[in-house]
Amino acid sequence: MAVEISARFLAQTRTTLAAAPLRLFIDGKWVDAFSGKTFEVRDPATGLVIAHAAAGEAGDIDAAVAAARRAFDVGPWGSMLPPARRALMLRLADALEASAEELALLDCLDNGMPVNIAHFFAVNVAAEAIRYNAGWIGKINGETPVVSMPNQHVYTLREPVGVVGAILPWNGPLGMIATRVATVLSAGCTIVVKPAELTPLSAIRFAKLAQEVGIPDGVINVVTGFGHTAGQALAEHRGVDKITFTGSTSTGKSIVRAAAGNLKRVSLELGGKSPVIIMPDADIEAAIVGASNGIFWNSGQICVAGSRLYAHEAVFDQVVEGIARRADSLAVGSGLDPANDIGPLISEAQRERVKAYIGSGVADGATIVAGGNVIARDGYFMQPTILTNTRPDMRVVREEIFGPVLCAMRMSNADLDALVSAANDTEYGLSAYVWTRDLSIAHTLARRIKSGSVRINGGVDLDPALPFGGLKQSGWGRENGREGIELYYETKSVSIKL
Catalytic residues: 269, 303
What's the start-to-end Cα distance of the chain, in Å?
Answer: 62
Q: Which letter does DSSP use for residue 136 in this model?
A: T
Listed ranges 33-41, 132-140, 269-277, 367-375: which one lies at the site for ligand NAD (CB under 6 A): 269-277
Q: What sign does the CA torsion over 68, 69, 74, 78 have?
A: positive
Query: Nearest approach, Cβ of 118 to ligand NAD (angstroms)?
Result: 15
Residue choice 44, 112, 114, 231 for contact with ligand NAD (CB under 6 A): 231
Q: Which letter does DSSP use for residue 198 in this model?
A: T
Alpha helices by DSSP H, listed for 187-279, are 201-213, 232-236, 249-259
**290-309 residues near ligand NAD, rule: CB under 6 A:** 303
Listed ranges 99-107, 215-223, 264-272, 488-496: which one lies at the site for ligand NAD (CB under 6 A): 264-272
Give the whole-angstrom CA distance, residue 328 versus residue 421: 32
Q: What share of the chain is helix, strand, coil (3-state, %, to 5)?
A: 45, 20, 35
The reply to whether 197 sits near ligand NAD by the rule CB under 6 A is yes
Listed ranges 56-64, 136-144, 223-231, 329-337: which one lies at the site for ligand NAD (CB under 6 A): 223-231
Length reported for the chain: 498
Q: Is 161 helix (H, G, I), strand (E, B) or coil?
A: coil
Residues in contact with ligand NAD, total (CB under 6 A)?
A: 30
Q: In which element (H, E) is residue 356 found?
A: helix 348-363
Residue type, 22: L
The reply to whether 475 sits near ligand NAD by the rule CB under 6 A is yes
Residue type, 136: W
Query: Nearest approach, Cβ of 280 to ligand NAD (angstroms)?
Result: 31
The reply to whether 257 sits near ligand NAD by the rule CB under 6 A is no
Query: Nearest approach, Cβ of 124 to ligand NAD (angstroms)?
Result: 17
Site string for ligand NAD, 391-430 (x = CB under 6 A): ---------x-x---------------------------x
**β-strands 29-31, 24-26 pairing:** antiparallel
Listed ranges 266-274, 366-374, 434-442, 485-493: which one lies at the site for ligand NAD (CB under 6 A): 266-274
Residue type, 490: E
Residue type, 134: A
Of the candidates 206, 225, 208, 201, which has an alpha carbon nearest to the alpha carbon of residue 50?
Answer: 201
Chain mean position to CA 37:
27
Give the nearer residue to ligand NAD in terms of CB position, either 104 or 168. Answer: 168
Site string for ligand NAD, 165-184 (x = CB under 6 A): --xxxxx-------------
Give the whole-angstrom CA distance, residue 260 versus residue 448: 33
Give the nearer residue to ligand NAD in terms of CB position, either 86 or 265. Answer: 265
Would you tell me which residues interact with ligand NAD (CB under 6 A)? 167-171, 194, 196-197, 226-228, 231-232, 235, 246-248, 251, 254-255, 269-272, 303, 400, 402, 430, 470, 475
